[in-house]
Amino acid sequence: MNNGSSNGSGRSPSNLPPLSLSILGVEPLDEFIREVADFIHHMIGQRPEGANGVEVEAKVGVLRDKVSGQRLSLPVLVETIIMPNSVDCRFESNMSPIQHKHFNTLLNNLKTTSSTPSEMNYAHLHLVDSFYAAPDGRGEKVRVTRDEKSGAVQACVQKVRLGSLDIYSPKRAADWRISVNVEIPVPQPIGTATHTRKKDRMSYTHEEFIVDLTQVTSTFGASSKPEVLHELEVELARPEYLLSTAAKRGDPNVSESERGAFDELIRAFVNNARILVRNSGDGWQ
Amino acid sequence: MNNGSSNGSGRSPSNLPPLSLSILGVEPLDEFIREVADFIHHMIGQRPEGANGVEVEAKVGVLRDKVSGQRLSLPVLVETIIMPNSVDCRFESNMSPIQHKHFNTLLNNLKTTSSTPSEMNYAHLHLVDSFYAAPDGRGEKVRVTRDEKSGAVQACVQKVRLGSLDIYSPKRAADWRISVNVEIPVPQPIGTATHTRKKDRMSYTHEEFIVDLTQVTSTFGASSKPEVLHELEVELARPEYLLSTAAKRGDPNVSESERGAFDELIRAFVNNARILVRNSGDGWQ
């Protein structure tokens, strides 16, 4: 995978001492990563009491103008965070089968050649989601996720959307969206599913992150043609770790590393999302 | 000065190994800094043959809508580079006398407390610029800069603007503009200056950079009132170093540190500009 990192770190001619990072001797804070960390921290704080199944994910896709359907165009040259509710666009979490194959190859290569101390684990999952109306007739629908082969129930939840941030990437073939949701376990519903979808998912796990490359086949009724989407997302693997670091963010009573663990987690999350976006080839727009 | 850097770098609880920077083990490239480096490199390549007095500077100020005069407003949450010629705005390189005093205090403190290996040097300059029509009646006007006290000529040049990039900083009190110019030495002009300006400048030098905090008093004629502006800019101190690193950028025949020296120089330049912008208090808009 291409990380595009530049590593020059000396002054030439070689008799000059290395350049300081700045007049202060340090890099100024990364405003983008800080904004994302503040957003996620704030959203986590808005979750319903006792709901700890927090899901933080970044999906790779394309931001489209709602009217024209064309990819969003803003007068800026580099990746930036769009102000919520200020631009009339939608996020399309889909890619071509060729793109999907491209990412599959990249991630498989990374699995065998990763240069980090941690290994990348892989699982190929075949899941079926069935959706049911909310038990009280209001609120979010209920999703039952089963292993396709065994039929064993993996999850039975209502998903509550807490918020999302759209990231516009004019230099890249794709944009991305960060979403914060909470999944609340509920009793298994009775009755008939309103619709179902099959997920053929290649799931790569690295440290605190899961990268899911999924082919989603949705069926809305016997008479309608199934819809097939190809999705790529990176998500935080352990809600309990996320919540424990979030609770200690900036706390003067814990160690410096504990105090900064949430921001380090979000930094790696943003880095991973960026690496995926920057490796998205053509064929999106 | 506030650098706003966050330094947490461990996972808690403390039995977890440190988090990798990404699935690739490295930070992805900083798209913003790369864009600025590409821009400056390209602009340098456009200079007239033999003109090596290249000036690269970042001015701190406010981007204003040309029609309303209000500060520019784009639907983004973090600092970004504006696409040239896409937004109808002008850059105002000015601040209040209180802001000026604020930066003077900050820079003086930094001079005495800098934590980098290099010291910061300081000079208080009193200069007078006189402007004359171009000798051939076309092209850029001629600027003669003299020491106010001794009258000694410091420079006699035509300044050719090569290009500029505007940086919008919605989280900060000020925006900034990067300009690339070339100053071409010319013979001293004969005749009367069209206008003059006095520069009372506090000039701080750190490694390859000069931070100039200047009060500019312009006089356009005996009958009109002088205009007073307060400016802050950071510029590259040595055009010859800039050009030598630019020439070796990415060259496979030189050492890695020489190959990367241009990008490291621009990284520190951007860092310094950001540190100034982030320390700009209120009172700009």
> Does any CB of chain A come closer than 8 Å to the CB of residue B113?
no
Instruction: Write out residues in chain B with pLDDT < 70, as ranges.
Output: 1-15, 114, 282-285
Q: Is A25 left (phi over 0), alpha (psi -120 to 50) or beta?
A: left
> Is residue B195 within 8 angstroms of chain A, CB to CB?
no
- Reading the block at residue A112, the tokens are 């065998």
Helix (H) or strand (E) holding A148: none
C-alpha pair distances (Å), A104 with each of A143, A204, A275:
27, 10, 14
Task: Specify which residues A214 forms β-bridges with.
Answer: A201, A231
Residue B234's nearest CA partner among B170, B279, B176, B173 is: B176
Set of chain B residues whose Cβ sits within 8 Å of the Cβ of A209? 23
Give the one of A6, A31, A264 whose C-beta lies nearest to B260's C-beta. Answer: A6
Residue from the list B5, B120, B206 with its beta carbon closest to the beta carbon of A29:
B5
CB–CB contact A8 B263 (8 Å): yes
Tokens standing for residue A157: 């939840």
A11 → chain B, closest CA residue: B261
Q: Nearest CA to CA, how far is A223 from chain B (Å)?
A: 43
Q: Could you identify the residue written with the tokens 């312009």?
A: B218
pLDDT value of position B136: 79
Candidates B12, B76, B260; nearest CB to A257: B12
Residues in Cβ contact with A127 at an 8 Å cutoff, skipping those fewer than 6 apart: A145, A146, A147, A148, A154, A198, A199, A201
**Contact between residue B249 and residue B265 where contact means Cβ atoms under 8 Å apart:** no
Q: Does A70 touch chain B (CB under 8 A)?
A: no
Task: Give me the pLDDT at residue B283, please.
Answer: 57
Is the Cβ–Cβ distance between B2 and B279 less than 8 Å? yes
Q: What is the pLDDT of residue B285?
A: 55
Q: Are A168 and A82 in contact (CB under 8 A)?
A: yes
User: Which residue among A10, A81, A245 places its CB closest to the CB of B77?
Assistant: A81
Say whether the peptide bond before residue B13 is cis (omega within 30 degrees of 0).
Answer: yes
State how far residue B154 is from chain A, nearest Cα, in angstroms: 27
The reported pLDDT for the residue numbered A180 is 98
Instruction: Identify which of A19, A76, A268 has the shortest CB distance to residue B208.
Output: A19
**Percentages helix, strand, coil for chain B, rounded to the nearest 5?**
20, 35, 40
A34-53 tens-digit pLDDT:
999 999 999 999 999 999 99
First-to-final CA distance of chain B: 22
Does residue A275 sit at the B interface (CB-CB below 8 Å)? yes
pLDDT of residue A173: 93
- Residue A65 contacts B where some CB pair is shorter than 8 Å: no
Residues of B in Cβ contact (< 8 Å) with A110: 23-24
Cβ–Cβ contact A112 with B under 8 A: no
Degrees (nearest 5) of the Cα angle B46, B50, B54?
60
Confidence at residue A280, expressed as pLDDT on a 0 to 100 scale: 85
Phi, psi of B247 (to 5 degrees): -65, -30
Q: Which of residues 6-25 of A touch B (CB under 8 A)?
A: 6-14, 17, 19-25
Contact B28 A278 (CB under 8 A): yes
pLDDT of residue B38: 98
- Ordered by start, the domain boundaries in chain A are 31-278
Interface contact flag, A258 B12, Cβ < 8 Å: yes
Global ipTM: 0.90
Nearest to B261 among A11, A171, A275 (CB): A11
If residue B202 lies in a helix (H) or strand (E), which one and from where to where?
Answer: strand B195-206
Q: Token pair 């009190």 is at which residue?
A: B173
Give residue B6's pLDDT: 40
Residues of A with Cβ-Cβ distance to B245 under 8 angstroms: 12
Q: Which of A8, A78, A206 sits opposite B23 (nearest CB)?
A: A206
> Tell me, what's the pLDDT at A224?
82
Residue B22's pLDDT is what? Answer: 92
**Which residue is it, tokens 């590593």?**
A7
- Residue B232's H or E segment, with its range, is strand B227-236
| CATH fold group of domain B50-278 | mRNA Triphosphatase Cet1; Chain A (3.20.100)
Chain A contacts in chain B segment 205-244 (CB below 8 A): 206-209, 211, 244
Cβ B199 vs Cβ B229: under 8 Å: no
The minimum CA-CA distance between B73 and chain A, rounded to whole Å, is 11
Asked whether the beta carbons of residue B17 and residue A118 sit closer than 8 angstroms, the reply is yes
Q: Is some CB atom of chain A closer than 8 A to the CB atom of B152?
A: no
Chain A environment of B26 (Cβ under 8 Å): 3, 5
- Residues of chain A below pLDDT 70: 1-15, 114, 282-285
Taking contacts as CB-CB distances below 8 angstroms, the residues of chain A near B114 are 23-25
Give CA A22 to chain center in angstroms: 33
Q: Which residue, among A22, A39, A205, A275, would best test binding to B if mutated, counting the most B CBs under 10 Å from its CB?
A: A22
Given a contact cutoff of 8 angstroms between Cβ atoms, the answer to whether A268 and B11 are in contact is no
Helix, strand, coil proportions of chain A in percent (round to 5)?
A: 20, 35, 40
Alpha-carbon gap, residue B161 to B84, rounded angstroms: 15
CA angle A229, A232, A234 (to 5 degrees): 150
Inter-chain Cβ pairs, chain A and chain B, closer than 8 A: 252
Q: What local confidence, expressed as pLDDT, does residue A40 receive?
A: 98
Find out whether B186 and B53 touch, Cβ atoms under 8 Å.
no
A23 vs B23, B120, B259: nearest CB: B120
Q: Does B77 touch chain A (CB under 8 A)?
A: yes
Its CATH architecture, for the domain A31-278, is: Alpha-Beta Barrel (3.20)
- For chain A, strand residue ranges (E) read 54-65, 80-81, 89-92, 120-132, 142-147, 153-168, 175-185, 195-206, 209-219, 227-236
Contact B135, B189 (CB under 8 A): yes
* pLDDT on residue B245: 97
Q: Closest partner residue to A275 among B12, B22, B209, by Cβ?
A: B22
Q: Which tens digits make up the pLDDT trace of B12-45?
A: 455 678 899 999 888 998 999 999 999 999 999 9
Burial class (CB in 10 A: 0-12, 13-18, 19+), B53: middle
